[in-house]
Amino acid sequence: MTETPQLYLITPPAFEPEVFAPRLASVLDRFEIACLRLTLASHDETLVARAADALREVAHARDVPIVITAHLQLVQTLGLDGVHLTDAARSVRKTRKELGDDPIVGAFCSTSSHDGMSAGEAGADYIAFGPVGDSALGDGSKAEKDLFAWWSEMIELPVVAEGALDTDLIETLAPVTDFFAIGEEIWREEDASAALTRLTAPLR
């Protein structure tokens, strides 16, 4: 794998659409982004729909596909491009059957190459492993470079590295991943574009 990994943006877990949409637009105008993932902590359908409507307009105006975490029922209702599943391979086959061939179906498989392969066989378009950095969240397990190196050598399905990324990790993983999924790493900074520029410096 010699191509430079592409960037994949993850939204914050909570935001005001009218405040966040212009921030997102400014990042999308400055960087080539392969995909946007709407990941809201809220289970309020009205709130999720309002956020999706606002971000879909911003993303689609710039030819960036937008997927939503977990809520596959909302993909077609809200005119989104696909779904990002968080339960490894468990619901990939059912989701693919329900959505059809065209929408994007991604699967987060934590640190398990076995789950990744199962999800791929069930019809996932990409596999995400993480967190790749140190995080007090979750059970403390990390997706190590060896996992990405093995995957990129043995498996053709695109792989995404995400979770607690920093500049050193991006430099280390760049030769063995297809995408870096970046979210809170930049949104917690006042100037998200400047933060993304610093974070992804090794890719240039």
Mean pLDDT, rounded, of the chain? 96
Decide if pLDDT at 74 tops 60: yes
Q: Give the CB-side neighbour count of residue 5, counting CA atoms within 13 A.
A: 28
How much is the average pLDDT of 102-117? 98
Q: Domains (ranges, CATH) in the chain? A: 6-203 (3.20.20.70)
**Residues 94, 95, 98, 103: is their CA dihedral positive or negative?**
negative
* Per-residue pLDDT tens digits for 138-197: 888 999 999 999 999 999 999 999 999 999 999 999 999 999 999 999 999 999 999 999
pLDDT at 111: 97
So what's the pLDDT on residue 1?
A: 45
Does 137 have pLDDT greater than 90? no
Task: Identify the pLDDT of residue 27.
Answer: 98
CA–CA distance, 9 with 11 (Å, rounded to integer): 7
On the question of pLDDT at 2 being above 60, the answer is no
Cβ atoms within 10 Å of 162's Cβ, excluding its own:
23
Q: What's the pLDDT at 135?
A: 86
**Average pLDDT of span 78-106:** 97
* The pLDDT of residue 3: 87
What CA–CA distance (Å, rounded) separates 126 from 133?
20
